[in-house]
């Protein structure tokens, strides 16, 4: 049977079928946890190839796992039940801009950073900017509905996709949406498929919306003596009348990691710093930062440092970019969470995370997209220390439950994947699960599209950090 | 059987069950075409009532038609297969703002205009602004994913909804999304339900996102000598680097209708006028309009008149508001279309509509949301003239097909409803229809939620203007 599949896959993709153990091993992990072994890896290069492979997989009921650059933090592309990994990273040939329509069309393997660059050549902007944009693929961004720092003003991937070409579980090719910003013709399959983590259909092309590139930016760093005030400041800024284009927070732990790593002269004793960017016409940016400064004065926040030069501004954003590398560098395993809460609850969430640090004796760094309530409490842990792993699992579980209790969500931008599926029913409720499963069942009745993701399987009740 | 249903409905809503013929007649139409007779009308006032009625309807397989203020232009709330009209317009009691979270929560019968007003009290803005906002309900806006002039910069209803409470076809209550801008926990049921025209679930509460209210606005009127240049100007403006907050077009016919109706001193001989609003900091608005002016000069457009006072600005927007009343006033029946095309295809669409006027000898007025390619070719017709009605049907059909050919869509913001369902398969294709129907079948297997909408029924192949 395996030989027959190999023969058929070879007919479709030729040498782009990988079956050696070495090759398969390297397709078994992503930026989260767990290592799985796929049976086959196919590097697809066209819609027709995807279609034929899905038809084959459908006939033989073989699982398919679409995969971009494998930067997923939630286990999105992991081949948890073996089967076929469908690697899109080589299919990066198609990238076309239609400047008069404010559109870009791209094949799934195109790097997000290349889309940014092409748009900017025309003085336009593709707004979603996941931190991994220099390596991640647009296909992965679509599957996971990737976010990024600009989300506070410009929204996320879903807000910039007008249409998709998709291969269904039956191996049919459909087009969703179109080339217009407004479209209310039938159900919005585009927005259903984006963020569905490859479980409802396989995206083979996307039509993305561009907007005029803002003329200029200006950035301020706000320094806080306590975390609670830092949290309060976020709502205060967002209700000042100004719309920041980025609004990122680093707690003391994060500041010190970056400082240890890169020595950028950061205030090591601050409880937190907030980086706030405004964008638009050069002439009003300073005025807008002063509006923010004034609003913050009302709650006693005085330490606002405005970058005077473009170099200084770049240095501030470098700080944010270095948080993840700095944490990785500091040793052990990095567990990134992205529980998200309503804006006014950010101070509560900070307090909770602080409590978790003490209660479970863990090293937790907090940073993230403050302006959307999307924090990334990140735990540095030694995966060989079984007791510590259990404490991590307990702490993360408590953080998830608390986020939901505050009216927030398990995941703001990383997705559910394998990592958070045990907690999914808690957020959506029993009737919600029935509704969610009905959609999956209707569109992929044989469960061949990225099985083992989003929906918990029998016995899965805890954070999935281990592969067992 | 009917008596039993009446008894049970009375148990649920008491005197808010209407069964007199007079009452039922007035629930049989909307702002589109056709008159149908429901068996029962229930004015619901709580989730529990909705839930009980859906459970009853599910048990007896009775169709339910949710209805707001019945301003639909596509037949969304029409009770085409008799059954129960569920009137939400009385359920307008719950409207609460959470300014620190930048949120509003509302019951389905709240008027959109009341949401605007409440937000503005806090210097915030609920961006979607359908032209009917002073009478339409948020529930109707959600069902149809309503648009409006601000769509060009701020998007549509769907972009401002974070979460919903929904009664499913089984009569279960679920909550979708939440209170945060970012949420990637499972499938995006919020965005699937918005715009699904009441066919997948019944919305009983919405959590809406607010943004800071722009400080100021400024408006220019641009006068064109030919329609083609007017069309070209739209892309030109949108790629100038400025993001207009509104961008509305009126053709000569529309200008003259308004002038006949209200005498506002408009240029009757112009081929078209474009109204462009920019919003933001007062200090840059004039500068932004000059950027636009400069861009237009490059393609030979010189006649740009900038409103000097707030009164003058208000008068310009009054012009746009009066188009629909002016057309209604001019007699006969008004058939509003909303075919939408990619920005660069707007000149082609104008040319096509002009061709249709001549070919079918029709009175077509063109206006609409130029900045999203969302034109409203509106036909004034005598519904008693059978020959003319046929010509209208032919013209509209040609316009639809042409919009799709240009990479556009049947409907930008009005929805499919009863009016456009014969053309729906043409846009989404055969495999697309299978996918769309699979979702409907999975979530409403007995087809009790707003049947006769979106999906064409046997024999429906033409524009549905008549009730037969």
For chain A, 468 residues long, the average pLDDT of each consecutive 10-residue run is 96 98 95 92 98 98 97 94 98 96 97 98 95 95 95 95 98 96 94 98 98 94 93 90 94 95 94 96 93 96 97 94 87 84 92 94 93 91 88 93 94 92 93 97 98 91 60
**DSSP single-letter state for residue B111:** B
**A187 — contact with chain B (CB < 8 Å)?**
yes
Beta-carbon contacts of B310 under 8 Å, excluding residues fewer than 6 positions away, are: none
Phi (first) and psi of residue A386, to 5 degrees: -60, -40
**Positive or negative torsion for Cα B153, B155, B156, B159:** negative
CA distance B331 to B329: 5
* Chain B residue numbers touching A196 (CB-CB < 8 A): 187-188
* CB-count exposure of residue B446 (10 Å: 0-12, 13-18, 19+): middle
Q: Residue A43: beta bridge partners? A: A87
Across the interface, whether the CB atoms of B412 and A180 are under 8 A apart is answered yes
Angle at A255 between CA A253 and CA A256, to 5 degrees: 65
Across the interface, whether the CB atoms of A192 and B191 are under 8 A apart is answered yes
Q: Which tokens go with A371?
A: 């302006």
CA distance B300 to A261: 56
CA distance A351 to A395: 13
Q: Is pLDDT of B454 > 90?
A: yes
Across the interface, whether the CB atoms of A280 and B283 are under 8 A apart is answered no
* Chain A residue numbers touching B401 (CB-CB < 8 A): none
Beta-carbon contacts of A453 under 8 Å, excluding residues fewer than 6 positions away, are: A75, A76, A78, A80, A197, A198, A199, A416, A417, A418, A421
User: A84-87 and A64-67: which strand pairing?
Assistant: parallel
CA distance A71 to A133: 10
Nearest Cα neighbor of B241 from A213, A103, A285 is A213
**Mean pLDDT calculated for residue range B141-154:** 95
Across the interface, whether the CB atoms of B191 and A187 are under 8 A apart is answered no
Distance from CA of A9 to the nearest CA of B (A): 24
The pLDDT value recorded for residue A165 is: 98
State the pTM of this model.
0.95
- The Cβ-side half-sphere exposure at B153, using a 13 Å CA radius, reads 22
Our CA dihedral for A284, A289, A294, A296, rounded to 10 degrees, sits at: 150
Q: Which tokens go with A253?
A: 């732990």
Distance from CA of A349 to the nearest CA of B (A): 14
Beta-carbon contacts of A311 under 8 Å, excluding residues fewer than 6 positions away, are: none
Of A170, A343, A443, the CB nearest to B102: A343
**DSSP helix, strand, coil percent of chain A (3-state; round to 5):** 40, 20, 40
Residues 361-400 on B with a CB inside 8 Å of A are: 369, 372-374
Count of CB atoms within 10 A of residue A353's CB? 24
Of A343, A414, A440, the CB nearest to B101: A343
CA distance A269 to A59: 61
Residue of B nearest to A369 (CA): B182
| Total residue count of chain B as it appears in this document | 468
Across the interface, whether the CB atoms of A432 and B175 are under 8 A apart is answered yes
Beta-carbon contacts of A412 under 8 Å, excluding residues fewer than 6 positions away, are: A147, A338, A339, A340, A369, A372, A373, A374, B180, B182, B183, B184
Of A144, A183, A427, the CB nearest to B412: A183
**B72 — contact with chain A (CB < 8 Å)?**
no
Beta-carbon contacts of B219 under 8 Å, excluding residues fewer than 6 positions away, are: B246, B275, B276, B277, B278, B306, B307, B313, B316, B317
The domain at A216-325 falls in which architecture?
Answer: 2-Layer Sandwich (3.30)
Q: What is the rounded end-to-end Cα distance, in angstroms, of chain B? A: 27
CA distance B142 to B196: 9
Across the interface, whether the CB atoms of B122 and A239 are under 8 A apart is answered yes
* CB-count exposure of residue A294 (10 Å: 0-12, 13-18, 19+): exposed
Phi (first) and psi of residue A340, to 5 degrees: -130, 135
Phi (first) and psi of residue A32, to 5 degrees: -100, -130
Nearest Cα neighbor of A280 from A118, A174, A113, A154 is A154
**DSSP single-letter state for residue B120:** H
**DSSP single-letter state for residue A12:** H
- Name the 3-class secondary structure at B262: helix
Nearest Cα neighbor of B362 from B390, B340, B377, B381 is B381
* CB-count exposure of residue A271 (10 Å: 0-12, 13-18, 19+): middle
The pLDDT value recorded for residue B467 is: 47
Nearest Cα neighbor of A36 from A72, A1, A71, A83 is A83
CA distance A336 to A344: 22
* Chain B residue numbers touching A99 (CB-CB < 8 A): 239
**B340 — contact with chain A (CB < 8 Å)?**
yes
User: A202-209 and B272-280: which strand pairing?
Assistant: unpaired
- Name the 3-class secondary structure at B425: helix
The pLDDT value recorded for residue A468 is: 43
CA distance B420 to B435: 19
Q: Annotate B181-198 with b (16+ C-beta within 10 A) or e (fewer).
A: bbbbbbbbbbbbbbbbbb
Element (H, E) at B336: strand B333-336
The pLDDT value recorded for residue B1 is: 85
**DSSP helix, strand, coil percent of chain B (3-state; round to 5):** 40, 20, 40
* Chain A residue numbers touching B443 (CB-CB < 8 A): 435, 438-439
Beta-carbon contacts of B238 under 8 Å, excluding residues fewer than 6 positions away, are: A102, A212, B152, B244, B247, B343, B371
**DSSP single-letter state for residue B213:** P
| Total residue count of chain A as it appears in this document | 468
Residue of B nearest to A435 (CA): B443
Across the interface, whether the CB atoms of B179 and A280 are under 8 A apart is answered no
Nearest Cα neighbor of B252 from B220, B232, B223, B221 is B223
What fold, for A1-213?
3.30.465
The pLDDT value recorded for residue B333 is: 82
**Mean pLDDT calculated for residue range B245-268:** 95
Determine contact, residues A6/A14, Cβ cutoff 8 Å. Answer: no
Q: What is the pLDDT of residues B100-131, one digit of tens each?
A: 999 999 999 999 999 999 999 999 999 999 98
Q: Residue B223: beta bridge partners? A: B273
Our CA dihedral for A301, A302, A308, A312, rounded to 10 degrees, sits at: -60
Phi (first) and psi of residue B311, to 5 degrees: -65, -45
* Chain B residue numbers touching A102 (CB-CB < 8 A): 238-239, 343
Q: So where are chain B's domains?
A: 1-213, 216-325, 328-405
Count of CB atoms within 10 A of residue B394's CB? 16
Angle between the N-to-C axes of helices B252-262 and B310-329, in degrees from 0 to 180, rounded to the nearest 10: 100
Q: Answer whether A1-213 and A216-325 agree in fold.
A: no
- Name the 3-class secondary structure at A40: strand
CA distance B400 to B338: 9
Q: What is the mean pLDDT of chain B?
A: 94
Angle at A449 between CA A448 and CA A451, to 5 degrees: 75
- Token pair 């007779």: residue: B37
Q: Which of A352-361, B106-115, B167-176, B324-333 has the lowest mean pLDDT?
A: B324-333
Q: Which tokens go with B248?
A: 């509305």
- Token pair 């974070």: residue: B162
Count of CB atoms within 10 A of residue A398's CB? 16
Nearest Cα neighbor of A243 from B212, B29, B31 is B212
Q: Which tokens go with B228?
A: 């083609």
Q: Which tokens go with B233?
A: 């100007």
H helix intervals, B241-281 = 252-262
Q: What is the pLDDT of residues B7-61, one digit of tens each?
A: 999 999 999 999 999 999 999 999 988 899 999 999 999 999 999 999 999 999 9
Q: How many CB pairs under 8 A join A and B?
A: 299
* Chain A residue numbers touching B411 (CB-CB < 8 A): 183-185
Q: Which tokens go with B374?
A: 């969302």
Angle between the N-to-C axes of helices A346-360 and A386-405, in degrees from 0 to 180, rounded to the nearest 10: 160
* Chain A residue numbers touching B159 (CB-CB < 8 A): 155, 159
What fold, for A328-405?
Alpha-Beta Plaits (3.30.70)
**B171 — contact with chain A (CB < 8 Å)?**
no
Q: What is the pLDDT of residues A175-213, one digit of tens each?
A: 999 999 899 899 999 999 999 999 999 999 999 999 999
């Amino acid at each position: 049977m395996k030989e027959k599949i190999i023969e058929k896959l070879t007919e479709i993709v030729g040498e782009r079928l990988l079956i050696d153990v070495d090759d398969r091993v390297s397709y078994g992990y992503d930026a989260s946890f767990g290592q799985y072994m796929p049976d086959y890896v196919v590097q697809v290069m066209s819609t027709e190839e995807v279609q034929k492979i899905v038809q084959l997989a459908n006939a033989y009921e073989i699982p398919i796992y679409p995969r971009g650059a494998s930067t997923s933090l939630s286990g999105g592309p992991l081949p948890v039940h073996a089967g076929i990994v469908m690697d899109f990273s080589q299919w990066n040939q198609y990238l076309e801009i239609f400047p008069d329509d404010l559109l870009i069309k791209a094949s799934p393997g195109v790097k997000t950073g290349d889309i940014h660059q092409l748009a900017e050549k025309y003085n336009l902007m593709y707004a979603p900017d996941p931190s991994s944009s220099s390596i991640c693929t647009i296909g992965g961004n679509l599957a996971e509905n990737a976010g990024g720092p600009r989300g506070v003003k410009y929204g996320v991937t879903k807000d910039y996709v007008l249409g998709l070409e998709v291969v269904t579980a039956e191996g049919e090719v459909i087009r969703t949406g179109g080339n217009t910003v407004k479209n209310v013709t039938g159900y919005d399959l585009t927005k259903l498929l984006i963020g569905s983590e490859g479980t409802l259909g396989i995206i083979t092309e996307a039509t993305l919306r561009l907007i005029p590139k803002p003329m200029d930016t200006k950035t301020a760093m706000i320094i806080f003596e306590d975390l609670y005030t830092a949290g309060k400041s976020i709502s205060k800024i967002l209700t000042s009348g100004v719309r920041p284009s980025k609004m990122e927070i680093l707690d003391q732990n994060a500041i010190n990691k970056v400082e240890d790593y890169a020595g950028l002269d950061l205030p090591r004793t601050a409880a937190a710093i907030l980086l706030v960017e405004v964008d638009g016409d050069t002439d009003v940016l300073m005025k807008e930062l002063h509006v923010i400064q004034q609003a913050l004065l009302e709650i006693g926040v005085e330490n606002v440092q405005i970058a005077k030069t473009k170099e200084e501004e770049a240095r501030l954003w470098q700080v944010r970019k270095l948080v993840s590398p700095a944490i990785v560098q500091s040793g052990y395993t990095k567990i990134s969470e992205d529980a998200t809460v309503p804006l006014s609850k950010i101070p509560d969430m900070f307090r909770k995370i602080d409590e978790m640090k003490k209660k479970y004796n863990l090293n937790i760094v907090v940073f993230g997209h403050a302006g959307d309530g999307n924090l990334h409490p990140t735990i540095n842990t030694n995966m060989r220390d079984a007791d510590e792993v259990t404490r991590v699992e307990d702490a993360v579980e408590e953080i998830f439950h608390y986020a939901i209790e505050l009216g927030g969500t398990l995941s703001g931008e990383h997705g559910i994947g394998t990592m958070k599926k045990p907690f999914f029913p808690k957020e959506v409720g029993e009737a919600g699960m029935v509704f969610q499963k009905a959609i999956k069942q209707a569109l992929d009745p044989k469960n061949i599209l990225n099985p083992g993701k989003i929906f918990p399987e029998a016995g899965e009740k805890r954070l999935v950090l281990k592969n067992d």
